[in-house]
Structure 1
Amino acid sequence: MEILSQLNAAIWAGGTIVAIAGIFALILAYQSVVIVGGKEIALIERRWLGKKMPQGRVVAMNSEVGIQARTLGPGMHFLIPFIYTAKKSEFIEIMDGKVGLIESVDGGPIPPGKIFAKVIRGHNSFQDGEVFLQNGGQKGPQIDILPPGKYRINPYLFKVSIANAVIIEKGQVGVVTSQDGGPIAPGRLLAASVPDHHNFEDGEKFLANGGQKGPQIDILLPGTYRINIHLFQVTTAPAAVIESAKVGLVTAKDGNPLPEKEYVAHAVAGHADFQDANAFLKGGGERGPQLDVLKPGTYYINPLMFDVAFDDVAVVERGQVAVVVSNVGEEPTPEMKKRLGSTQMGATEEEGKEKYVVPNGFRGIQEEVAGPGKYYLNRLAFMPYIIDTTNITIDWDDSKETRFDPLSVISKDGFPIGVSVKVVVRVRPDQAPYMVAKVGSIDNLILHVIHPMIDSSFRNQASTTSAMNFMQDRQEEQTKAETRARLELEKYHVECVSALICQIMLPQELMDTQTKKIIAQQQTTQYQEEQKAQVTRIEMEKTKATADQQPEVVRAEIAVKVADQKKRETVTLAEGNAESARLKGEGDAKAIEAVGTATAEAYQKQKTAIGPQAIMAIELAKHISAGKIKIMPDILTVGSGGASEGLATVLTRAIALSGMKINPDAVTTKTSE
């Protein structure tokens, strides 16, 4: 029994040892196996049995004690337990629209004057830390960046910060400032352009090709860029947008110095409307105001290189011309100045030298004018003076819309006179440059020439005549003023169309006196006219009476004509009747003669047969029976034969001779007793 007990104790002790050994073996196996997931990496730390890291190093290489530069990727890995330990970490993922900025915590030192570490090859986007360190990688911010993707990077060796990609929106430009590179050349404001940096996305090429530190002359156009924002600082600025009816005036901040006596820089070609600043400088562009302008549109211009100001386009309306004064071009020769000056009416040789009109291409007032239209002019180089070529009216009156008050003059007899005047002038297009040479502008012409001239002219004219005569001789005074204005304005190459007196205002007391005088004169004239009117009225009444009798006169005249015509008719009829009667008479006479002859012969025979007395009795009886002989009286007066009987006989005879008809019933015949 005792033996069995000892044997059991021995077996139990041996089993415990085996169990302990087994457990220890399991622990060793667990410590030596590292399983890394599909989205993980394992950081390795060597704790024992290795070389000591060099001074200043913080990440160990393969045989050195410390956190290792290398990492373990996804899968199962075996490590010597108690010598190595592993710590898992997730992949670094760079999403779309992002970039990864790298800073190494270990490596060689960055050389003095440099901010970024040099670029090392072969480290597979910083995923192989040992190669990075073996190939001379430097501690500090790295030039290379990580584009979108997943990376197995040792977070102990490399610190990765995620930043947004640089996005330049439409209508904007990206202005770049480099934090590293060589110095900018003396006298320059912007760093020189270098090739092959691919819009600053390749920082290595930028530095390798001589990129300079500071603001860059190149810009970024609208788009998305993967740029190391630790190396390049990018700010956005609006593009230069020139609106319709506007013009862009450009001033360069860098370039060659502007030549002496030049106000505007000479134009250079090939800079694509100032969008290629590098070409501008290579072409010899000068700093200062530029001759070229920007027309309406959008321009991606570096605001660090060029300032753009906006101005209105020069608009020349119908009935206008633009006289252009050029600040650029060749200087006219003395001979040209003398020739051009002599062509100006009234200009001396010296005036011609100071104010002259030149052909195109020379500095000064341009001989050729610009007609109606829109012009994109650089007003720093070309100053347009808009001149109206239609009639220009200047008024002196009380209206609020006019520039000048009525003229106030004093007559010869001391009365103040107010004169409203209207002057119409015109500038011919071919004379406009010479007018500008003389006075500069229409406003100057009106203020400094026409107004003083008209005021002086009417003052002088009023001082030579009385107030009333000035008013009464208005037409003559107007003609004098117009003649003088025309002669004076010809000296300024201006045509005077007319000078009109619109109104003359005399003092009220003078007008009252004149009014009374005129009224008296008018009354006298009125009375005279009324007298004439009465005389005329008399004549008119006579004429009217004559006119009223005119119908009777006409009828009388017609009656006379009718009577005359009837007379002629009657005469003619009478002559016809007479001729007819004559012929008839002759016929009747012959008939009677024949009858008479026959009768006579009959009577003769009767006489012979019965005697003359019997023939008379027979003929008397025939006549009585035919009623040719009255045997009874028309009036019979019977009396006793006294004096009354004689009187009655006489009266009866008179009545019978007069042809008066007597009613026998009304007559009472009284016979004597």
Structure 2
Amino acid sequence: MIVALIVVAAVILLLLFLIVAGGMLIVVGGQQVGVVERRYFGRTLPAGRVVAMRDEVGVQARVLPPGLHIMFPFIYVVRKTDMLMISEDEVGILESIDGLPLEPGRIFARHVEGHDTFQDGEAFLRNGGQKGPQIDILPPGQYRINTYLFTIRAQPVVTISKGQVGVVSARDGDPITPGRLLARKVQGHQAFQDGEAFLRAGGQLGPQIEVILPGRYRINTDLFNVEVHPATIVAANQVGLVTAKDGAPLPSGELVAVSAEGHNDFQDASAYLGAGGQRGPQYDLLKPGTYYINPLMFDVQLDKVAIVQRGEVAVLVSNVGKEPEDIPHEERLSGRERYVVPAGFRGIQSEVAGPGVYYLNRWAYIAYIIPTTNLTIDWAEESGGNGDPGTDATGASGVRRVQLFNPLAVISRDGFEMRVSVKVVIRVRPDQAPLMVAKIGSIENLIDHVIHPMIDSSFRNQASSSEAMNFMQDRADEQAKAHARTREELEKYHVECVSVLISQIILPQELMEIHTRRVIAAQQQAMFIEQQKAEHERIATENTRAKADKQIELVAAQIGVQIADQTKKKTIIEAEGRARAVQVEGEAEGKKILAIGTATAEAYDKQVEAVGQLNLAGIEVTKSIAGAGLKITPDIMVGGADGAGGANVFTAFIAQLLASNRNALTTSPDQPENGGQPNR
């Protein structure tokens, strides 16, 4: 009996030993981790602690790695869990249930070293790890972490796709600088992936001035809230007008902020503020492209580019620059409108922009597109669907019709209502465009407030001073008057009047019927006159036919007439020849006599000079008497009464002449004078 009891006791002890020995062997698999709880034989946990160190009673901070472990089953309890897996597109967000308390005002526990990515719980607590949300995160991988000490949530990584931008707001950090809307930029946090570096560098609580560019980021999303916004895309033929929500205030009287340097097209908001960027509409703009801009800092409004077509110019009105009063006197544009200023001053710019595409900031500059080709304003009935009043169409000739009004209704002096269709063609020269804008503002204002009232008034006045039919018949004169007045008036607005044309004048129907009957009567009278002319032509034709029948006789008679005419001409020519011969002979004889007389006169003049006029007269008388053979003196010389007995030259010459004459008379007429010898 005793032996049996001993055997039973031995078996019971053996069974108890096997049970105890079996509980002491703990096997942790390769993908497992053992969480240990110590129930007996240890120190009590300090106040405020919930996780025990190695020699303390409670759930242990340490864990059992894979392998065979000997544990006293009545002292330790081991709970096996799977290893923590963080995939490639995830991060692990941790929260500790034990550790030192957080500093006042802090939300996240500070970073501590030496805990092997939270896999060594005892090192975490021993090195001063803090209770609460952890600022560090777990990157992708497998971890043997005490899931009792740490609560882990797997969160997807922050992915910013192409054409997007990440806007960040921090839930912890220093307060934002008073007067600022966004937290200042800090260095070293690797695009908010290092939360500890962010806080250590003085990162501020709230919306951040920095943004996250396209990519994948392992960010603690409990510390940083990331909102994904589309990037600012400025398409072709667009510009981006930027408004800053933070910065220095605009100076008094300024509408647009001054240009700031170094902000990389507003993509570096911190550099913008550092360069003194101002709050409000910006002078700089964004050209076509993609921009990663913080929408909390800048608001971007898309606008169309300014396109100036051929045949147009853009007159710019500047809202920026110096006041016109600051223009030196010598630089003022003499003879120009008051508000037309050179570049760099606020007002209407004197230089225009020619055809092209311009990236224009409409907050800084207002562009007025002014056509420089011929513009036609019509007062006519609408036809062909060319448009309602106010349309802008270009015809085949290249002349633009910019306005269509109803025909002018005017009253003539004799009380008839007429409808007059008019075309006015105007042109603005490019150099005159700024002056026109300064004077009237735009082509539309010019048409509505100047040209239309002036044309309407001009034709009403002209029609009231003329009868209806005369107005239509004197159309060219009325057109010239209207053109002269329009040209003079438009010169005041720096616009050239090319022409004023009257297209059509519509008179009342009853007046047109009377005029039509009058014209028909005049046409009938003209027809009768033409018929009379036709009868006269017929008579002339019959006369010609009769003459043709007598053509042979008529030709013979004509030839006889021609022969008689030629004979007459011959006789006349011969008579004229004889008369001419007599005339020539007479002229020759006259010239001969004239020559002899001239020579004789000259000889007499010389003889008068030699012997005197009285003596010469006596000599000539004596020659004449001697030549005639007259005997006028006795043969005996009688002396003078004075008894001197002398003879002068005259008496001697007379005596000699008488003697010679006497000898000649005694000589026979047949006897030769040379001593009886015949002449040979």
Aligned to 2:352: 369
Structure 2 counterpart of 1:220, one-letter code: I
Residue aligned with 2:249, SS: coil
Structure 2 counterpart of 1:508, one-letter code: Q
Aligned partners of 2:329 and 2:511: how far apart in 1?
58
Residue aligned with 2:405, SS: coil
2:94 to 91, 102, 121: 102
Q: CA deviation at 1:441?
A: 1.0
Checking the alignment, whether the CA contact within 8 Å between 2:32 and 2:80 is kept in structure 1 is yes
Q: CA deviation at 1:144?
A: 0.3
Aligned to 1:233: 225
| Aligned 1:171-250 pairs, distance under 5 A | 171-250=163-242
Say yes or no: does 1:329 pair with 2:333.
no
Q: CA deviation at 1:36?
A: 1.1
Aligned partners of 1:51 and 1:553: how far apart in 2?
172
* Unaligned stretches of 5+ residues in structure 1: 1-8, 345-351, 565-673
Q: CA deviation at 1:57?
A: 1.7
Q: Please give the per-residue CA displacement for 1:354-405, whole angstroms capped at 9, x wherever unaligned.
A: xx11111111111111111100101111111111111111111012535201
Q: CA deviation at 1:283?
A: 0.9
Aligned partners of 2:507 and 2:110: how far apart in 1?
99
| Aligned 1:150-161 pairs, distance under 5 A | 150-161=142-153
Q: CA deviation at 1:11?
A: 4.0
Aligned to 1:314: 306
- Structure 1 454/543 Cα, relative in aligned 2: closer, same or farther at 3 Å? farther
Q: CA deviation at 1:554?
A: 11
Checking the alignment, whether the CA contact within 8 Å between 1:242 and 1:294 is kept in structure 2 is yes
| Aligned 1:629-648 pairs, distance under 5 A | none
Aligned to 1:385: 368
Structure 1 counterpart of 2:79, one-letter code: K
Structure 2 counterpart of 1:427, one-letter code: V
2:265 to 273, 292, 295: 273
Q: Please give the per-residue CA displacement for 1:501-546, whole angstroms capped at 9, x wherever unaligned.
A: 1111111122222222222233233323332332233224434554
Checking the alignment, whether the CA contact within 8 Å between 1:252 and 1:288 is kept in structure 2 is yes
- Structure 1 556/192 Cα, relative in aligned 2: closer, same or farther at 3 Å? same
Checking the alignment, whether the CA contact within 8 Å between 1:340 and 1:357 is kept in structure 2 is no
- Structure 1 51/544 Cα, relative in aligned 2: closer, same or farther at 3 Å? farther
Q: CA deviation at 1:493?
A: 0.8
- Structure 1 228/450 Cα, relative in aligned 2: closer, same or farther at 3 Å? same
- Structure 1 557/390 Cα, relative in aligned 2: closer, same or farther at 3 Å? farther
Q: CA deviation at 1:26?
A: 2.4
- Structure 1 286/341 Cα, relative in aligned 2: closer, same or farther at 3 Å? same
Residue aligned with 1:403, SS: strand
Checking the alignment, whether the CA contact within 8 Å between 2:333 and 2:341 is kept in structure 1 is no
- Structure 1 280/80 Cα, relative in aligned 2: closer, same or farther at 3 Å? same
Could you state the TM-score of these two structures normalised by the residue count of structure 1? 0.77
- Structure 1 541/437 Cα, relative in aligned 2: closer, same or farther at 3 Å? farther
- Structure 1 55/418 Cα, relative in aligned 2: closer, same or farther at 3 Å? same
Alignment root-mean-square deviation, CA: 2.2
Aligned partners of 1:241 and 1:376: how far apart in 2?
15
Structure 1 counterpart of 2:230, one-letter code: P
| Percent identity for Structure 1 against Structure 2 | 58
| Aligned 1:255-294 pairs, distance under 5 A | 255-294=247-286
Checking the alignment, whether the CA contact within 8 Å between 1:313 and 1:375 is kept in structure 2 is yes
Aligned to 1:636: none
Aligned partners of 1:540 and 1:476: how far apart in 2?
46
- Structure 1 559/363 Cα, relative in aligned 2: closer, same or farther at 3 Å? closer
Aligned to 2:141: 149
| Aligned 1:162-561 pairs, distance under 5 A | 162-333=154-325, 340=332, 342-344=334-336, 352-353=337-338, 356-400=339-383, 401=386, 403-543=404-544, 546=547, 549=549, 553=552
Aligned to 2:65: 73
Q: CA deviation at 1:440?
A: 0.9
Residue aligned with 1:28, SS: helix
Structure 2 counterpart of 1:199, one-letter code: A
1:122 to 114, 122, 126: 114
Structure 1 counterpart of 2:122, one-letter code: E
Structure 2 counterpart of 1:393, one-letter code: T
Residue aligned with 1:191, SS: coil
Checking the alignment, whether the CA contact within 8 Å between 1:410 and 1:417 is kept in structure 2 is yes
| Aligned 1:577-656 pairs, distance under 5 A | none
Aligned partners of 1:369 and 1:399: how far apart in 2?
35
Structure 1 counterpart of 2:131, one-letter code: K
- Structure 1 543/337 Cα, relative in aligned 2: closer, same or farther at 3 Å? farther
Aligned partners of 2:370 and 2:543: how far apart in 1?
72
- Structure 1 519/283 Cα, relative in aligned 2: closer, same or farther at 3 Å? same
Q: State which drifts further: 200-209 or 532-541.
A: 532-541
Q: CA deviation at 1:126?
A: 0.6
Aligned to 1:569: none
Aligned partners of 1:126 and 1:190: how far apart in 2?
34
Aligned partners of 1:529 and 1:136: how far apart in 2?
132
Aligned partners of 1:105 and 1:460: how far apart in 2?
100
